[in-house]
Amino acid sequence: MLAVSALMIGATGTYYWNAYSQAQEYEEIDSALLADELPPSAYLDKGFHAWLEHGSDSSSE
């Protein structure tokens, strides 16, 4: 019983550690994208506008 509980604690810890690491990577990428200046033509591109709408829809789920 002790081995099973140790395995469960280890698996849970590993899951949260990986999720935390992945969140840090996403934070770095998001910061770099937000700090970067886009050219005005990017905002005029219809595909870019559609991508922004699609991105905001998936983030609200």
Q: What is the mean pLDDT of residues 21-42?
A: 79
Residue with tokens 């935390």: 20
Q: What is the mean pLDDT of residues 18-39?
A: 83
Provide, rounded to the nearest whole percent, the portion of the chain with pLDDT above 70. Answer: 82
Give me the count of residues in the chain.
61
Please give the C-alpha separations between residue 17 and each of 5, 11, 29, in angstroms, as whole numbers: 18, 10, 19
pLDDT in tens, 37-58: 776 677 677 787 777 777 665 5
> Is the pLDDT at 31 greater than 70, yes or no?
yes
> Is the pLDDT at 60 greater than 70, yes or no?
no
Separation CA 11–CA 34 (nearest Å)? 34
- CA-based nearest residue to 30, from 59, 53, 50: 59
